[in-house]
Amino acid sequence: MKNIALLLFLIIILGSCNISPELQPLPHWEEVNSPYKSSLRGIAAIDSSTCWASGSNGKVILTLDAGKTWFDRSIPSLDSLQFRDIHAFDKDNAIILSAGLPAVIAQTSNGGRDWIISYFSKEKGLFFDAMDFWDKKRGIAFSDAKDSTLYIMTTDDGGEHWKVLADSLCPQVFPQQGGFAASGSCLISYSNGQAIIGLGGPEATILQTDDFGMTWRKSKSPLDAGEASKGNFSFSEYNNQLYVVGGDYLGDSLSINTIAKSEDNGQSWQLIQDTAVAGKYRSSIVQIDEKRIIAVSRTGTSYSLDSGLSWKSIKGNYFSLSKGKNGFVWGSGANGKVARLIWD
């Protein structure tokens, strides 16, 4: 009986201890590349088997079997567009957003076999950077500023109709200031009507709303800015923690301040100084859970197992990340490159 009691005690004690980073499973990329050669900056993970991606040459693709087979779900008449963001609710329902002109938003409810164009504009100055959804009905998208007012649209019917917010409701920014359509994550939405937008250029501007885009507050992050190639590229939110990554997309050697963390919903930011990630341009970041974070760009992959305190690097060059069910992460990149993040 004493031995059994001792064994139970040890199980309880060990179970209550956090596993040190050295003993945790480590990540690597499993390439499941598509047969298409488009630059894939849009990605929407559903689970470990199902994932959408989109990008240049109007390409939209879907896998249902962990990348063994890819279906081309492109819209033939829009093969000149750059679909740099895609949001998917499941294997059947997805929405795509183009950068540049014409500005197009299209949606499907049958796995991409048919698409309905819900927004189309050739208005000069429009350049949409990203969109996101709070739920299956309420969503938001934004374009670079045509003047000194950011251009924001919202939907409350799942993307079937889009409403352009009045200038009086949109935040004031620098003339023609915009975001980076690099990964579809310079805008993210999260709980209770909250959303955050990151811009670049003259300033690493941050814009936040708590009421589904009706009012905004403005601040800035400590990331590199001051030139058109620098600024805030991507956000991730998990349990009220926010991360932002960016730098200079022209190269790591031009980047200094590239990643920061906020524990007070963006009111203040702390630069992360670990040299395994600091100073490295990153275009997309995802916090998988309380401890694990992954950040990527065309120059490499960085990850943390301790809530951003320390970082390491692995092989894998990708533009964009997306987290699906159970925290499963997919990445997409140049020349039809797609991969699944595996932990072992």
**DSSP character string of 199-240:** -EETS-EEEEESSTTSS-EEEE-SS--SEEEEEEEEEEEETT
Write down the H helix ranges in 250-334: none
- The HSE-up count of residue 228 (CA atoms within 13 Å, CB side) is 3
Residues 210/219, Cβ–Cβ less than 8 Å:
no
Residues 134/156, Cβ–Cβ less than 8 Å:
no
User: Model confidence over 58-74: pLDDT tens digits?
Assistant: 999 999 999 999 999 99
- Residue 128 to residue 103: CA distance in whole angstroms: 7
CATH number of this structure's domain 28-343, picked from the four choices 1.10.3720.10, 2.60.40.10, 3.40.50.150, 2.130.10.10: 2.130.10.10
- Residue 123 to residue 45: CA distance in whole angstroms: 31
pTM of the model: 0.92
- Residue 320 to residue 215: CA distance in whole angstroms: 29
What is the phi/psi pair of residue 301, to 5°? Answer: -125, 135
3-class DSSP state of 186 = coil
Which structure tokens are listed for 198? 């990151």
User: Model confidence over 84-127: pLDDT tens digits?
Assistant: 999 999 999 999 999 999 999 999 999 999 999 999 999 999 99
Which structure tokens are listed for 97? 């957003």
Residues 6+ apart with CB under 8 A from 194: 208, 209, 210, 265
- Residue 158 to residue 309: CA distance in whole angstroms: 38
Residues 154/138, Cβ–Cβ less than 8 Å:
yes
Angle at 81 between CA 77 and CA 84, to 5 degrees: 130
pLDDT on residue 307: 95
* Residue written as token pair 């923690």: 241
Helix (H) or strand (E) run with residue 11 in it: helix 2-16
Angle at 260 between CA 289 and CA 88, to 5 degrees: 50
Q: Domain map of the chain by residue range?
A: 28-343
Which structure tokens are listed for 35? 């047969």
Amino acid at 276: A
pLDDT in 10s for each residue of the chain, 344 residues: 445 444 444 444 444 445 555 578 999 999 999 999 999 999 999 999 999 999 999 999 999 999 999 999 999 999 999 999 999 999 999 999 999 999 999 999 999 999 999 999 999 999 999 999 999 999 999 999 999 999 999 999 999 999 999 999 999 999 999 999 999 999 999 998 999 999 999 999 999 999 999 999 999 999 999 999 999 999 999 998 999 999 999 999 999 999 999 999 999 999 999 999 999 999 999 999 999 999 999 999 999 999 999 999 999 999 999 999 999 999 999 999 999 999 99
- Residue 333 to residue 339: CA distance in whole angstroms: 9
